[in-house]
Amino acid sequence: MKTATANEAGQYRIDGLAPGRYTVTAAFEGFVPTAATVDLGRPLTSVDLTFTSLTMSESLTVTAALGRRELDSPTPAGSRLGLTPRETPATVDVITFTEAQERGLRTALEALSSVPAVTAAFLPSAQGITTIRGFSGGAVSQLFDGTRVTTSTIVARNYDSWSFDRIEVLKGPASVLYGEGALAGAVNFVPKRPDFGTRRGEALISYGSLGTGRFAAGTTGPLANGRAAYRADVVFNRTAGYVQDSTSDNLQLDGAIDVKLGRTATLGIAVDHFRDDYGSAYFGTPIVPRAFARQPSDIVTDSRGWVLDESLRDVNYNVNDAVVDVRTTWVRSKLDWQIAPTWKLANELFFYDKLGKWRGSEVYGFDTASALMTRSTVGITHDHQFYGNRLTVASDRRFGTRRNRFTVGFEANRNDFLGPRRFGVTTSVDPFAPSRGSFPADETAANFPGAGNRTDFTAKVNLVSAFVEDAFSVAPRVTVVAGARRDGLSIDRGVNDLNTGVQAAFVRDFDPVSWRTGVVVDALPRTQLFGQYTSAVAPVATILLISQGNAAFNLTNGWSWEGGVKSTLASGRLDATASVFKIQQDDIITRDPNNFNVSIQGGAQASTGVEFSVSADPLRGLRLNASAAVMDARFVTLLEAGGVNRAGNVPPNTPERTAGFWASYTLPNLPMTLVSGVRYQGRFFTNNANSTEVAGVTLLDAQAIWRLKSGDVTLRGRNLTDALYADWTGASANQVQLGAPRTVDLSYHVRF
């Protein structure tokens, strides 16, 4: 533990720190202690701290303690009260930038898949699809720096992890924080911010199997004699892909400036731009009859006797000139103003712009009569703008010996969406040597015939929200956390069928209320018991693309209870979290039992499970992490066309068993660290009928890091057993999205 020395009023520096993760705690008379986590790497060995709201510098003490502090750093995803995971009555997992680099987690999906009860996969049409505790799609909210765009499945990206200070995962319903669509949880991508203390930078370059290259660089530091600070990052990736002709490249550009407005306020402005170009993207491998397969595998079991043919592993059925091109830009400003010692105001203004184009063949199926593979042609565009403002006022004060943290806020935002959609004729190709052809040059009725196959969708969605949260220490060791949110949601949709000339327009308003209440009990100073009950809402279909029929239905209702324990043991060398939970979504679309041709609300889906995670530093140089989740995810009530009953079946793309183990050991007499990780994902089904089952998989990764004076050289191997596996359903229930084969890459990471 080290104590800071004051440079001037409100500014402190802690010197002589070894590389590692520190919790920096500030405490001074009459104010509530605050804490923040700082990751220091070679050669950075000091941290500068500025407390803009302080004038009584002589009474301030600042300390930095090295150790495991996963439970003690505030996580905005869990609340707007500045609560740490230890203080939050729910499970919150955090992957920091340092952890992502240590484990070789290059992308958001690799990071999310390392979290218990979470699975994530890449589909070109839904590039950040994620399941949390048995629910996926519109039930999982994805946030960018705490802001959620309506309909997360449309805006999700497979970001490079380099751009983010951390990735936070809140388990369980989060509608009270982020509105409709957060029924199963929320993922918050928190970009890096400017550093007022020290000018520093780092860069990484890597190259490996499949022609995969990655370059990343970032720098931060003070400007104008410490009155401002900047941050800039650039990331570029390129790969040839592991399926024929699936080359892709991605670019991320991030920039931010923070400016001190006197002693009590800071204004931050940030711009983040992402470009994803996947060309002739891979949309999955179709299954075929066993008798037809040249090399049948056992990773798919189907009630018809169909299998995945391993000889088709590298075949791409997309057209030669396919396009998957997505450009997104975030522009944000945030004003933080300490208006009084115990009161703070924050105002966030945000703008999001996206232009996405998909042109190609996505859905494939085997035709038993002709022994050919059928393909359909799809052309979709997303022209999407989202903008709004969020104002919050927060208080952190004491009433006698009782601490109370309170936040009230208001948000207004708007979505403008244009989505031309084209669905063309079905063609057939040779399964083993497809003549892939080209996308139609003209988007005319001749190439996209029939009603509903050449339409332009528009959507305008307005949202006005009010929310409140409070955390009150009702007793010396008991804190009650509660919150409520009311949303006013207005949808104005239009559909223009260019083939039939029919135009349809409709308007629908919703006014949902979400709430939560929970309690955290300090059983021991660093062991907390927690419990929580939450309510949430979710639409029956994607809000921005909702049909007139689905718009007639009400929002679905969800509820959840969760209880567990969070503990730090062994003098801070071990953090452990364990929980038991149940989430249920009611009023999903089912069929009328008296008339199977009529859709009604009344179905239900539920997931009950347990999960745990343990992080430990048992010996000098040795770090361990283990996690697991076991769920029972089922449709409680669900009738489909014809009266087929799906009750008791597992929802698609829901592995009910996940586990992971990660170990890192730094050799005592060599500048080398050895790292190994094992991840298990259980079986899942591709459809509600559970007629097609995809086998589970165990993946083994390993790496060796050699530390030079100038930086770190890392040799990594991924999927070392070269397992053939699928991690999601493809564009249809008869396709599976195969994962990457064994790969090796070499990287150099330098800090300056």
Which of 44, 67, 90 represents a domain boundary (last residue)?
Answer: 67
pTM value surpassing 0.85: yes
Q: Is the backbone of residue 16 left (phi > 0), alpha (psi -120 to 50) or beta?
A: left
How far, rounded to the nearest angstrom, does the alpha carbon of residue 58 sit from its chain's CA centroid?
43
Does a structural domain hold residue 728?
Answer: yes
Q: Quick: pLDDT tens for 105-125.
A: 999 999 999 999 999 998 888
Please report, as a single letter, which amino acid is at residue 398.
Answer: R
Query: Is 63 in the same domain as 204?
Result: no
pLDDT class of 544 with cuts at 50, 70, 90: confident
Q: Quick: pLDDT tens for 325-348.
A: 999 999 999 999 999 999 999 999
Q: Quick: pLDDT tens for 54-105.
A: 333 333 444 444 444 678 888 888 889 989 999 999 999 999 998 998 899 9
Does a structural domain hold residue 8?
Answer: yes
Query: Is 63 in the same domain as 205?
Result: no
Q: Quick: pLDDT tens for 264-286.
A: 999 999 999 999 999 899 999 99
Mapped onto helix, strand or coil, the DSSP state of residue 211 is: helix
Taking CA atoms, 566 is separated from 156, 430, 524, in Å, by 30, 56, 10
Which is it for the CA torsion 538, 539, 544, 545, positive or negative? positive
Does a structural domain hold residue 453?
Answer: yes
Mapped onto helix, strand or coil, the DSSP state of residue 707 is: strand
Does a structural domain hold residue 263?
Answer: yes
Which of 43, 67, 91 represents a domain boundary (last residue)?
Answer: 67
- pLDDT averaged over every residue in the chain: 89
Of 749, 697, 743, nearest to 718 by C-alpha is 743
* Residue-range definition of the domain harbouring residue 658: 200-751
CATH code, domain carrying 488: 2.40.170.20
What per-residue string of b and e applies to 4-23 under the rule 16 or more CB within 10 Å gives b? beeeeebbbbbeebebebbb
Taking CA atoms, 737 is separated from 51, 262, 308, 398, 724, in Å, by 50, 54, 11, 54, 11
Q: Quick: pLDDT tens for 700-748.
A: 999 999 999 889 999 999 999 999 999 999 889 999 999 999 999 999 9
Taking a C-beta distance cutoff of 8 angstroms, is the pair 278, 289 a contact? no
Does a structural domain hold residue 177?
Answer: no
Q: How confident is the model over 14-39, as a mean pLDDT?
A: 48
Number of domain units in the chain:
2
Query: Is 227 in the same domain as 369?
Result: yes
Q: Quick: pLDDT tens for 570-620.
A: 888 899 999 999 999 999 999 989 888 899 999 999 999 999 999 999 998
Does a structural domain hold residue 674?
Answer: yes
Does a structural domain hold residue 37?
Answer: yes
Taking a C-beta distance cutoff of 8 angstroms, is the pair 630, 609 a contact? yes
Please report, as a single letter, which amino acid is at residue 467.
Answer: F
Does a structural domain hold residue 255?
Answer: yes
Of 98, 96, 95, nearest to 204 by C-alpha is 98
Which of 67, 93, 119 represents a domain boundary (last residue)?
Answer: 67
